[in-house]
Amino acid sequence: MALIKRNIWFLFLLITIISTIFLAILSYSHWNEVYKEHKVQNENFTKLIARTTENYFDQLNIVLTLLGKQLLENENYKNKEKSKELLSELVLINKAITAYGIMKPNGDFLLTNTNVEPEKIPNLLKREDTRETFLQALKTKELTIGRTYKLPISKVFAIPVRKTFFDKNDNPVAVVSLAIPVDNSNLFDEKILQSYSHVINLFRADLYRQLYIYKTEKEKIDDIYTKPLPKKANEYVEKQMEKTYNISRQEIEDKELTVSFEFENRVNNNKYLISTQYMKKYKLWPSSYIRYDEIVNKFLKDFFVYLMVYLVTMVIIYRLFKYIYEIEKKQKKLLEYRANHDDLTRLPNRYYLHQYFDEWTKDKDEYSLIYLDLDNFKYVNDTFGHKVGDEVIIKTSNTIKNFLNKNDLFIRQSGDEFLIFTEVTVGVEEYCKKIIENINRKFELKNKEFKIAASLGVANFPKDSKDLENLIICADIACYNAKKVRNTVKVFTQDIKDKHFETIEIEKELKTALEKNEIYLVYQPQVNYDDSLHGVETLVRWESKKLGNVRPDKFIAIAENAGLMPSIGDFILDTALKDIKKLQEKTSKDFQLSINISVKQFIEKDFYDKLMQKINLYKIEPSSVTLEVTESIFIDNIDYLTYLFINLRSKGFTISLDDFGTGYSSLSILRKLPINELKIDKAFVDDITHDISAQHMIQTIISIGKILDYHIVLAEGVETKNQVELLNKFGCDTYQGYFFSKPLVLEDLEKFIK
């Protein structure tokens, strides 16, 4: 069905061609049937008139033979009275005989029933129109048929029939001639003549003279009987017979075959189908003519029926195909629409964008591309299910669509990401902020209230790129930067581009950093208020052969986003546990080991099992290990992590909340979390000596730690003596910072401890 689907009208054309060919074959076949039917009918009719003609002249021959015997008896033919009596009886028997006569072998008349004296009638041997046939009659005892001629007295055309009578020595003694009028000859039964539309014709053997014709135009009767056929017509007839049957005329005459051929009368321009048969006995060609248009009309009558059936059938087929075509057209439009539009939102999709983007950008010298990504949509899907998530997408997309300008092109890129192509270039950032305002409106869905946020990135054509794909990448990069802040808009700049490609380069090199031994650990000591060693914090460093020294605040976040943190985290955990265990044994001192654990590591299903395996492998007490976490870790995974931390606490691990005060924690969350230690962020410590609010914040944090019964409150980023004195005053337990020591490699840490 592939061909049919591709072009249903090709199938219709194929059916039309096949049907037309079939109609042509059927019509041709039927034409042959009609033609053959008329030909057979005409030939049968020819045979009928041949038999009738032969019977007619046979009867005349018998009658004349009997008459001859009577005339020869006692030489009655010399007795005019007796001869006239006998001939009169013959006329009474056959009323079709108009005239009769008895002639001498020399052509003179002995007797006639006309009022003209026999002596005054011209000698038959001396007349051109009778000499030939009279001489033929003298040579045979059979009946001889002469040329049709016009009787002088009655002015009617008659067929002359002659029979010669011979004496005992076979010498001709008398010739009896009868004149039979062609119109009243009783040659053929009138019923037979009227039952057919044929033209009947009797030709003499030479095909030049017509002896008899039935159904012709009366005004031309003189020409028909008095003038011979043109020589060309005679030759044409002969050629037609020979050409049609591939045999000679002589063979046709010898076998007395019935033949048919087509003949065009140049006098009246009528075409005929002629059937004829040669009669040796009387040297005649009885023929039957059918008007060719009669055959054609019969065929056309039937053909019209075929044509009507064909046309009606084709109309039905056409309507059927048109109906199928319309259905397929609708289905095609539906499929095209589905291919070009998103099933959920009915918005144009990426396929639509690539198909029709050139049309939208036609005559546009400049436009903006806005890349829109919903914030925290994964949380909606995971919390309320994908069905609710789909409803949120639909409502949000409708909200955006209703706000956008009429000529804006709104595309659903994928999931919760959308593309907006707009002619707004000047003030596009303000335009984006209004989009965010519209998205931020609260709406209810299934008795739940939602407030969706979105991050938008903007790129400009042609400034940022002249290529669509690259332009989308630019807008996506800007959106990626906006998502770092969330619910805001970022316009693509060269700086953003540089940072993005720097990130890509860092990520690329980071993938092989462990294999190249470029990542290593340093340790920063943590000192108690009484100057005793509390422990060390493990810090990761990367010395890239290509990029040089890459700061942790650059590559850690990139490693998190690229999914590389679990493998780096395993390396940190393994190396730190092994190093510190050796160092504790060397220095004979026990101290805490603080290790930062990433979100990706914590949410691994086998994190707990792997941690315990490593603890057992290096024979380190869990109570000497502090696992540091950031506040952001609890945003999406608080229930799971709370359960995990309770298990870790039960084994003796210390859980430290890093960078407290800069994230998302609330007092209610802090109260529920199984945390042992609070770390005050460096940002507060930096300003403690000159900013009262920073002092108040640190005092508050320390108070919270004491109230919640945390074992340790640790201040990081301590760099001056004044900072230490104030922290001591506020009740801080432990410090970490350059005032005490910078991060140290393992050998330097050993020296520091000793």
Q: Output phi, psi for 678, to 5 deg.
A: -115, 135
Does 217 score more than 60 pLDDT?
A: no
Cβ-proximal residues to 595 (8 Å cutoff; 6+ apart), any chain: 538, 572, 573, 576, 625, 626, 627, 628
Tell me if 241 sits within 8 A of 259, measured CB to CB: yes
Average of per-residue pLDDT across 73-80? 78
3-state secondary structure 102-160: EECCCCCEEEECCCCCHHHCCCCCCCHHHHHHHHHHHCCCCCEECCCEECCCCCCEEEE
Write down the mean pLDDT value for the chain: 86
Band of residue 68 on the pLDDT scale cut at 50, 70, 90:
confident
The per-residue pLDDT for 1 is 44
Cα–Cα distance for residue pair 673/531, rounded to 1 Å: 30
419-466 per-position pLDDT tens digit: 999 999 999 999 999 999 998 877 777 677 777 899 999 999 999 999
Phi-psi region of 470 (alpha: psi -120 to 50; beta: other; left: phi over 0): alpha
3-state secondary structure of 340: helix
Q: Which residue has the tokens 């006998």?
A: 86
Does 654 score more than 90 pLDDT?
A: yes
Band of residue 634 on the pLDDT scale cut at 50, 70, 90:
low
Tell me if 288 sits within 8 A of 198, measured CB to CB: yes
| Model confidence pTM above 0.85 | no
- Residue 696 parent element (H or E): helix 692-707
Band of residue 718 on the pLDDT scale cut at 50, 70, 90:
very high
Percent of the chain with pLDDT over 70: 94
Q: Output phi, psi for 745, to 5 deg.
A: -75, 170
Tell me if 286 sits within 8 A of 202, measured CB to CB: yes
3-state secondary structure of 657: strand
Cα–Cα distance for residue pair 473/250, rounded to 1 Å: 100
E runs forming strands in 462-518: 489-491
More confident residue, 102 or 79: 102
Average of per-residue pLDDT across 391-405? 92
The per-residue pLDDT for 338 is 83
More confident residue, 44 or 119: 44
3-state secondary structure of 401: helix
Does 285 score more than 90 pLDDT?
A: no
Tell me if 367 sits within 8 A of 466, measured CB to CB: no
The per-residue pLDDT for 380 is 83
Band of residue 2 on the pLDDT scale cut at 50, 70, 90:
very low
Q: How many CA atoms lie within 13 A of 753 on its CB side?
A: 25
DSSP secondary-structure letter at 170? S
Structural domains of the chain, ranges and CATH numbers in brackets: 48-293 (3.30.450.20), 350-492 (3.30.70.270), 507-753 (3.20.20.450)
E runs forming strands in 406-464: 409-414, 417-422, 443-445, 448-450, 453-461
Question: Which residue in 104, 100, 98 sits closest to 86, CA to CA?
Answer: 100
Does 707 score more than 90 pLDDT?
A: no
3-state secondary structure 580-595: HHHHHHHHCCCCEEEE
Q: Output phi, psi for 427, to 5 deg.
A: 80, 25
172-210 per-position pLDDT tens digit: 988 988 888 887 767 777 777 766 667 788 888 776 667
Question: Which residue in 515, 555, 562, 528 sits closest to 539, CA to CA?
Answer: 555
More confident residue, 215 or 575: 575
286-305 per-position pLDDT tens digit: 888 888 888 999 999 999 99
Band of residue 240 on the pLDDT scale cut at 50, 70, 90:
confident
Tell me if 591 sits within 8 A of 534, measured CB to CB: yes
345-372 per-position pLDDT tens digit: 999 999 888 888 888 988 889 999 999 9
The per-residue pLDDT for 636 is 59
- What interhelical angle do 634-651 and 607-618 show, nearest 10? 40
- Residue 175 parent element (H or E): strand 172-181
Q: In whole angstroms, how large is the CA radius of gyration of the chain?
A: 64
Does 46 score more than 70 pLDDT?
A: yes
The per-residue pLDDT for 651 is 93
Helix then strand count (H, E) for the chain reads: 25, 27
E runs forming strands in 353-394: 367-375
Tokens of 528: 């108690």
Which of the residue ranges 501-510, 654-663, 679-688 would you say has the lowest mean pLDDT? Answer: 654-663
3-state secondary structure of 658: strand
Which of the residue ranges 34-43, 124-133, 188-197, 641-650 would you say has the lowest mean pLDDT? Answer: 188-197
Average of per-residue pLDDT across 723-748? 94
Does 4 score more than 70 pLDDT?
A: no
Tokens of 244: 């049609």
The per-residue pLDDT for 418 is 96
The per-residue pLDDT for 668 is 61
Band of residue 663 on the pLDDT scale cut at 50, 70, 90:
low
Omega of the bond prior to 105 within 30 degrees of 0, cis? no
Strands ordered across the beta sheet of 453-461: 409-414, 417-422, 367-375, 453-461, 489-491
Q: Which residue has the tokens 């890239």?
A: 544
Burial 215-228 (b: 16+ CB within 10 A, else e): eeeeeebeebbeee
Phi-psi region of 456 (alpha: psi -120 to 50; beta: other; left: phi over 0): beta
3-state secondary structure of 313: helix
Cα–Cα distance for residue pair 641/299, rounded to 1 Å: 97
DSSP 239-290: HHHHHHHSS-HHHHHHHT-EEEEEEEETTTTEEEEEEEE-BTTTTEEEEEEE
Average of per-residue pLDDT across 388-396? 90
Cα–Cα distance for residue pair 522/56, rounded to 1 Å: 144
The per-residue pLDDT for 272 is 87
Phi-psi region of 120 (alpha: psi -120 to 50; beta: other; left: phi over 0): alpha
3-state secondary structure of 529: coil
3-state secondary structure of 457: strand
